[in-house]
Amino acid sequence: MIHCFEFSRWLVVIAILASSSFIGLKAQAQERPNFVVIFTDDQGYGDLGSYGSPDIRTPNIDDIAAEGMTFTSFYAAVFCGPSRAALMTASYPPRNALDFNHFPNAKTGINSGEVTIAEMLKEQGYATIHLGKWHLGDVAEFMPLEHGFDEYFGIPYSNDMWRFHDAITRTENSDPRLIAAIERANYTGSPDIGHPFDESLGKNDLPLYHNSEIIEYNPDQTLLTKRYTEHALDFIEKNKDGPFFLYLAHAMPHMPIFASEKFKGKSIRGLYGDTIEEIDWGVGEIIAKLKELGIDDNTVVVFTSDNGPWLQYGIDAGSAGPLRDGKATVYEGGIRVPGIVRWPGKIPAGARSSEIVSNMDLMPTFAHLAGADLPSDRVLDGRNIWDLLSGKTMKGPHNEFYYYGGNPAENEANLMAVRQGRWKLHFKKENRRAVMPLKGVELYDLHRDVSEKYNRSEDHPDVVARLEQLAKEFNASLIENIRPLGRVAQN
C-alpha cells in the first residue's frame, strides 16, 4: 500500500516532468526563428547607401547591413518571374520551366508538384503570408494560397501589366513609362503568354487580391508600399508568438514608379529616389515592430532585389553602381543585386562577404534553421549558407554560378554565361534575348574588372576551354532534370 506522503511525492515528480516537457517544447518553438524576406522589384546594386549610393537615403536598410552581413556577390535572375521562381524553389529557373515572365491570364504557372519555401515552413508550423507581387501565374491553381501561403495580399504580376491600346507610337516627348505598355502590347496574341491588352480599352485594369478574392481594381499605386508595410506589421503583431514567414515583395521600384505624398519630392534622386526612401521607411517600421514585440533577436531579416535596374528609363530607373548594364542582361548589373541578412546575436554585425551566393540559397538555409527537410526527390541548386552567415567559415558552398537568360524553347535552357571563382565567361550568341547579341566569347576577371570592360578571352584560352566544358556538362545535366511547367487543364 502506497502511503499518502509517497503518493503526493510522485504527483509532484510527475508535475515537474510535465512542466519541464512543456517548457522544453516552448523553448524549442522559440528557437526556431521567424523569417522576413523583403524583395524589391528592379532595384539596382547601387541604390542603397550601404552599397555606395551617393544620392538615395536608406538609413534603415543601412542599419540592417551594419547589424548583419552584406553580400557583394549576391545573385538573382535576369528578370522578375524567374527570380521569384528561384527564391521559392531553390532552383535555377529553367529547372522548373519558370524561366520567362507570366502575363495576365496565362495558361501556365508554377506546377502544383513544386515544393516552395512557404510549403516547407508551413509543414513546420509556421504562419505564412505573401504580400505584393507573385508573378508565378495568376490562375487560381498557380496563386500563393495553393503554394504554402496562409494569406495573400497584393497584385499577382507587375504593376505595369495594364490594359493599354497597342497602337501607341513613341515620340521624343512621350512619357518614357509608355515603353512598358508598348513592350507588353507586342506580346498580344500569344496563347501561352496570355492577352494582357484589349485594343478597345485605354484604361489599366490591375487586380488587388486579398487571399483568393479581388478586392479592388486599379488600386492607387502611390499607396502600395504603405499598404503592404501596414499589412506586414499587422501580420507580425498577430503572429508574435511565432514562428512565422513573411514574404514582402514590393511593387516598387518597377516602372511605373510611385511614392506617397509623404515621400514624393523628398529625394534629390527624383521620383525613383522617393520610392526607395519609402521602401526604406517600411524596413524601419518592420524592424521597430520586431523590437517592440521583443522578437527582434529571434527573427532573420533578408533584404534583396529580383534583378538589376531597368536602365532604359534613364532618371526613372535605378543604378547598378560599378556593374555593367542592367535588367534582362547577364552582365553583372542585370543579375547581381543587393543582398543583406540580419539576425542579431547570431550573424556577426557589420560582416561583408564576397562569396558567391544567391536567392536560391534562402530555402536550404531556412530549412536548416527551422529543422525542416528539403525535398529529396529532385535536384535543388541552392545550398545552406548558415556556416557562412554565422561566421563559422569564410568560404561559401558555391564556386560557380550559371547565368540563364529567359524565354528558351520548351525543354531547353538558355545558358548565357558562367562564373567560376574570379573568372566569368559569356558565350557566343547571335540572339541574346534580342537586346545584346554576342558574336564571340567574352572572358572577364571579376576580381580585377567587376565592370566587365576588358575581354581577356584571347589571353586565357585555357580558362575559356575549361569554363566552356564546365558549362556544357552542367547545362546538359540541368536539361535532363527539367521539371514540368504548370498548365491549366484543357476542358
Residue 80 bears catalytic tag: yes
Q: Is 10 left (phi over 0), alpha (psi -120 to 50) or beta?
A: alpha
- What is the DSSP code (8-state) at residue 197? -
- The two beta strands, 127-132 and 151-154, are parallel
Question: What kind and span of H or E run contains 131?
Answer: strand 127-132
Query: E strands, 88-238, where?
Result: 108-109, 127-132, 151-154, 207-210, 213-217
Pinpoint the alpha helices (H) of 311-447: 332-335, 362-370, 386-390
CB atoms within 10 A of CB 138: 21
CB atoms within 10 A of CB 155: 22
What torsion, rounded to 10 degrees, do the Cα atoms 377, 381, 386, 387 define?
A: 110
- What is the DSSP code (8-state) at residue 94? G
* Euclidean distance between the first and the last CA atom of the chain, given in angstroms as a whole number: 75
Catalytic residue among 80, 102, 254, 426: 80
417, amino acid identity = A
Cβ atoms of 212 and 140 within 8 Å: the answer is yes
**How would you class 3 by CB atoms within 10 Å of its CB: exposed for 0-12, middle for 13-18, buried for 19 or more?**
exposed
**How would you class 256 by CB atoms within 10 Å of its CB: exposed for 0-12, middle for 13-18, buried for 19 or more?**
buried
Cβ-proximal residues to 322 (8 Å cutoff; 6+ apart), any chain: 46, 52, 450, 451
CB atoms within 10 A of CB 217: 11
Cβ-proximal residues to 410 (8 Å cutoff; 6+ apart), any chain: 97
Cβ atoms of 161 and 181 within 8 Å: the answer is no
Q: Closest by alpha carbon to 306, among 112, 135, 152?
A: 135
Q: How far is 268 from 56, CA to CA, in rounded Å?
A: 7
Determine the 3-state secondary structure of 262 from DSSP: coil
Catalytic residue among 102, 130, 135, 254: 135
Residue 195 bears catalytic tag: no
Please provide residue 358's backbone torsions phi and psi, each rounded to the nearest 5 degrees.
Answer: -155, 170
Q: Would you state the cell numbers that stand for residue 59, as one nine-digit string?
A: 538609413
Catalytic residues: 80, 135
